[in-house]
Structure formats: C-alpha cells, structure tokens
Structure 1
Amino acid sequence: MIPENSYKSNDFVVAAEKLGIDFLIITDSEQVSSKFSDTVIINKFDAELNKNNIKKLKDVTHVLPVDHSALKFSGYLVDLLEVKGNKLESINLSMNKYESRKIFNSLLDIKANNEIIKNIDDINIFINKNGTSVLKPNYGTASKSVLKINNVEKNKEQIEKLMQDCFDQDLVIEEYIDGKEYALEGTIINSELKKIVIFDKPVEYKHPYFEESIYITPSE
C-alpha cells in the first residue's frame, strides 16, 4: 500500500525485489502508477475496491502499508481478503489516542489519566487536578499539534491556535510523564514482540511543542 506522498515507497519496493518477493502495489497516486506500471492498482483510499480489482488480488497473502495514510485502507483489505496484516479494528484503536491510552493503562504499571476536552475550561479543570499535561488531537500523527501545558493562561495563545487547527476532531488531554525518552523499533507478530533496536532521543524539544525528528544513528 503506497500513498501518494510517501517518501518510503522506493525503499520497500527495492527490499521486496532483493528478497525475491512477488508483490503488487495499490496506490492512490497516478505518479506512483507511472513508475511501477506493471504491478499497480490505482484506488482511492476512501473508496472500496471494485469487483475487477478484487479478482486481481486473489493470490495476495499479506498486506503492508508503508505510511500512516494507507493504514485504514490496508485494514479494510486485510478483512476483505482474509489475509495476514493488521485488521481494521486494531488500526482504528491504535490511531485513536484516547482509546489507546485506556488500553495502555489497563496493561502497564505506568499510567496516565486522560480525557477528551471540549473547551479551555475543561483543560483548566484537568490541569488543576493532574498537573503538567499534554494536549493533542485524538487522531494526529508524527507529534503534530502536540502541546505541553504547565499553565493555561501562559499557554492560552498556543491552546487556542491548536483548537482552531484541529476543529474537525476531538482533542485529548493527558498527564505528562516526566523522564528520558527512548524509541523502540521492532515488529509484533501474533502478539510476540521482536526488538530490532532501542535508542535514545538526544534532541531537546523546544517546549511547549514536541517536534518530530529523524535520526541517522543513535547518539550513543
């Protein structure tokens, strides 16, 4: 599954070719189609596949999205074709930050209170009860529009801008967990975690925002 604006597409194709894997590309992009014209199906990710294209997928055994914008459509395909991959239900849960935190809280010793908020008064009440917190869009990705709040009055301008930018979705506020941040790269197959690498994030954020960063190598 290759979305139009993914910078990762070619790496996945090259890897599949090196491994000798037969693959088919489904994309919402004419540009991608022209590059890999012999193995491509074009389909909008918010539209169901037609019967003719479904027939072309009869030999598919796995579905792999290469970017977050293809996740829900890939889940739809996994359910439709009954093949290996992430089901739509699990994708919907993982992309919903409020529901994800509820699951994490039920499984982990480290817990963080969270709520869906409607206005600044809700934020004030939550912070007065829970202290420093993080405000974010419920369905956001790549740390976009994530805001650390110590004091509502001090951060009021940033809060109002975030609420304006994310007017079309719920906002979630969550207790801030202090500590050093690490990233884990790995795979989960049949509920079994295989760790590839754990590394620290050496960049200090320019609070109140949490900028997304790309690292060439671990700092240590």
Structure 2
Amino acid sequence: MARVLLLLPTTSYRNEAFVAAARRLGLAVTAAADYCHRLAPEWGLPPRMAVPFDRPEVAARTLLAELDEQPDAVLAVDDAGLELAALLCRHLGLPANPPEAVRRVRDKLAFRELLSAKGLTCPRFAHLVADADPLSLLATLDLPVVVKARRLSASRGVIRADDAPSFAAAVERVRAIQRRADRDAERLGLLVEEFIPGSEHALEGLLENGRLRVLALFDKPDPLDGPYFEETILVTPSRLEPPVQRRFAESVERACRLAGLVTGPIHAEARVREETVWLLEIAPRSIGGLCSRALIQALGMTLEELILRHALGMALPEPRADEAAGVMMIPIPRRGLLRAVHNVEAALQVPGVVEVRITAQPGEVLAPPPEGNAYLGFIFSRAKRPQEAEMALRLAHLQLAVELSPEYPVENAPARVRPAC
C-alpha cells in the first residue's frame, strides 16, 4: 500500500478534500500539522507531528526523526507547508520541486526580480524595507501603485494607492497586517509595484518534468481595480482569444522553468491588457478555498485525487471541456460577527446552481480583504456556456442575506495570558 505524508495547515479549506482523496485511492495517510503540540492530540496527532510550518528547517528535522515509515509522496495542501514539503522530499529522495525554487515563487519580491531579470512582462516595482519612508519610492514609480505583503495569499495585505496620502496610509496598514501574519515581517519589508489595468485570469495546471499541462483557465469577470482585491467569481472555460490563452500558458511554463519548478500542481494569476499577459504570481499548489470543486466534472475526479495520482506516478485523466463551470467566493460585506446566512435553499433553486456551501460558522469574526483571509462560503454552477454559469452565480448570490453583528467590545476587558505553545 502506497503511503503519503500530508502537511495540513490549521485553517486550510483543503485538508478534508486531500484526506478524502487519499482514502478513495486506498493510500495509507500520515498527517503532520502546524497545530500547537499541546492541542495535537485533539486532532488525533502525536505531539511530535505538530510542527511549525513557517520554520521549515526545524520542522523537517522533527518530522524526519519521527517518521516510522518512508512515505512514497509528501504533499503540502496549502501555501504554508510548501517549503517544508520540498525539504522533506529532498531528504527522502522523492521527486519534488527544489526548496529554493519554492521559496523564490512564494516571495512576491523575489518572483518580480526573476521576471524582470529574465525579460518577462511584469510591472515596475520597488522594495520598501522595514521602517523606510514610503514617499521616497514615488520618485521611481508612477501612481497608482499596489502595496503588497511579500508572502501572504488570498488578497491579504494588498492595497492600491492613487496618491501620496493614500500610499502612506496603505503602507502603514499593510505593514501591520504583515507583522501579524509573518514572523519575518521586519526582515522582508514590502513590495510596491505599479498598478496594471486589465482583466484578471487564473490558470490551473500540472507540471510534468517541467512541461505544463493546462487543466483549466479561469476568467475573473468582476473588475479587480482596488483599492482592495477581494476575489469573487471564477468561470471556466476562459473567454480569452485562443492566441492569448496560449501566450498565458507559455509565459507560465517559461516562468516555472526559470524559477526551477519542475513538478506538481501550479496555480498562476495574470492580468491581460491589449492581449499582453502580465504575470502576477505563480504558486506551486492547487487553487485555494473550495474552488477546486468547480473542476470535478471536467476532470472526472477531484483535483486533489489528480494531484495525488501525479505524485505517485499513477495514470491521469484528460480534462473534458464539454460544459462551463463557475464558483463564487461569497463576498464578506463588512467586518463583523457572523450570525447567520439566510435563503440558502432559495439560492440552490437558481437554474445552473449545483451547490452552495457556507463555510463560516455562526459566531466567527469575518473580515474582507485586505485583513481577512477566510471566506464566507462558496457557490458552484454548471451550464452550457461560461456566461450562463456566471449569471447563475450572480442570481444565487442575490438570494442570500448575510446577518452580521458588531464584534463584542473588548476595550475594557481584562488582559488574558495565553499559554506558551
């Protein structure tokens, strides 16, 4: 029986999907997580299998000493464990992307530097070191600009600024977000780049010995012009002209090759302006949230099962493009405490809608980007044409009513000391 080691982040939407796919394939699963070691037993994990994913060298040493059996594959199900998975594969002699390649594409600044050095189309950019005066960069970049945290995902810590005052405010805000989310915030600083207008698209693919197999190309029909960049709708197949789709795929494959990525899932984001493809980012993982469920019909299986099959050298299906599919990441209207989401059954009655999944729990504090990194839920649709799949999502969303209340006041609450983990 083949064995897979899955690296499960605390808050990933995809943990359950990968575990379920492994079970369908009859695999033996070993799990490691970035939970606190004191809480690990509550998730059925030995305390030594709870490791800090954001300290990959430390985590790798711990897991290598703890493993009883050599796995046939190691997979990180989300961004947090990517570098750790690459390090483990190197030590275990398993095929994988080099850790330095993973590190390079996870860092938005390092990825921009690579694109610029190798002549790929990318916006002009600058590195704003910690505590530097942000206004000093405006002599080298044209407004509007986008301020970005270097290693966060899901539009967290990404803000557009159109003038000097909004730029200074954006920098202060993104610095605070990055400090809360990344232990290396002060060392990293921020990426500042010129804003590129145009439509935005996402490519889902699989690298096989450095060659890119395109699984799907998504359009993002809602304008993503800022000041914040909350993603909502993804629809496939893309309505881009075939030559532009080919250039997108060719740019992704070339960027992967230059970065040193050779195998496994790829999720790429780009803007298209006047048929020019501007790569925004490439991640050596699959699409985020529950969005992979939109591809089940086209792949004939879940995307997670396909990724596991690839990692273990098993046969892969050819994608079918016989219908359109869409997914909406349900927008969070404002920051607040979730009370309820009403009229889900009415949304399910919209023609073309196949599933509505509310993932946030009552009592959970929700926030839209740039602070938030969780979703309210997901709506999925299928139709003959992309525009019909898109319209079904919009009509279903109109049925939903989200009930939020202000967060509980904490100004006068006594300080609480958390136990060290």
Answering whether residue 147 of structure 2 is matched by residue 126 of structure 1, we say no
**Secondary structure at 1:20 match in 2:** coil
Q: For residues 172 and 18 of structure 1, what CA distance do their matches in structure 2 show?
A: 42
Contiguous gaps of at least 5 residues in structure 1: none
Task: Name the amino acid aligned to 2:15.
Answer: S
Question: Of residues 152, 157, 162 in structure 1, which corresponds to 2:169?
Answer: 157
Assess, with a 3 A threshold, how the Cα gap between structure 1 residues 149 and 25 changes in structure 2: closer, same or farther: same
Equivalent residue, structure 2, for 1:42 = 49
Alignment of 1:66-145 (within 5 A): 66-107=77-118, 109-117=120-128, 118-127=132-141, 130-145=142-157
Q: For residues 80 and 120 of structure 2, what CA distance do their matches in structure 1 show?
A: 32
Q: For residues 107 and 26 of structure 1, what CA distance do their matches in structure 2 show?
A: 37
Q: For residues 96 and 184 of structure 1, what CA distance do their matches in structure 2 show?
A: 19
Q: For residues 153 and 37 of structure 1, what CA distance do their matches in structure 2 show?
A: 49
Displacement of 1:102 in angstroms is 1.9
**Secondary structure at 1:24 match in 2:** strand
Percentage identity across paired residues of the two chains: 23
Segment drifting more, 175-184 vs 113-122: 113-122
Answering whether residue 28 of structure 2 is matched by residue 9 of structure 1, we say no
Answering whether residue 208 of structure 2 is matched by residue 189 of structure 1, we say yes
Assess, with a 3 A threshold, how the Cα gap between structure 1 residues 36 and 16 changes in structure 2: closer, same or farther: farther
**1:4 touches 1:32 (CA, 8 Å); kept in 2?**
no
Assess, with a 3 A threshold, how the Cα gap between structure 1 residues 21 and 106 changes in structure 2: closer, same or farther: farther
Answering whether residue 38 of structure 2 is matched by residue 19 of structure 1, we say no
Equivalent residue, structure 2, for 1:198 = 217
Equivalent residue, structure 1, for 2:363 = none
Equivalent residue, structure 1, for 2:199 = 180
Displacement of 1:91 in angstroms is 1.4
Equivalent residue, structure 1, for 2:73 = 62
Q: For residues 25 and 119 of structure 2, what CA distance do their matches in structure 1 show?
A: 37
Task: Name the amino acid aligned to 2:138.
Answer: N
Q: For residues 137 and 13 of structure 2, what CA distance do their matches in structure 1 show?
A: 36
**1:64 touches 1:85 (CA, 8 Å); kept in 2?**
no
Equivalent residue, structure 2, for 1:147 = 159
Aligned pair count? 215
Segment drifting more, 5-14 vs 150-159: 150-159
Q: For residues 157 and 12 of structure 2, what CA distance do their matches in structure 1 show?
A: 20
Question: Of residues 211, 224, 227 in structure 2, which corresponds to 1:208?
Answer: 227
**1:61 touches 1:84 (CA, 8 Å); kept in 2?**
no
Q: For residues 49 and 25 of structure 2, what CA distance do their matches in structure 1 show?
A: 24
Q: For residues 70 and 214 of structure 1, what CA distance do their matches in structure 2 show?
A: 26
Task: Give the RMSD, CA atoms, in angstroms.
Answer: 2.8
Q: For residues 9 and 231 of structure 2, what CA distance do their matches in structure 1 show?
A: 20
Displacement of 1:122 in angstroms is 2.6
**Secondary structure at 1:139 match in 2:** coil
Displacement of 1:43 in angstroms is 3.0
Q: For residues 53 and 172 of structure 1, what CA distance do their matches in structure 2 show?
A: 38
Q: For residues 89 and 112 of structure 2, what CA distance do their matches in structure 1 show?
A: 25
Q: For residues 142 and 132 of structure 1, what CA distance do their matches in structure 2 show?
A: 21
Segment drifting more, 181-190 vs 28-37: 28-37
Displacement of 1:66 in angstroms is 0.5
Assess, with a 3 A threshold, how the Cα gap between structure 1 residues 135 and 17 changes in structure 2: closer, same or farther: same
Q: For residues 150 and 73 of structure 1, what CA distance do their matches in structure 2 show?
A: 38
Q: For residues 162 and 25 of structure 1, what CA distance do their matches in structure 2 show?
A: 33
**1:27 touches 1:41 (CA, 8 Å); kept in 2?**
no
Q: For residues 61 and 210 of structure 1, what CA distance do their matches in structure 2 show?
A: 39
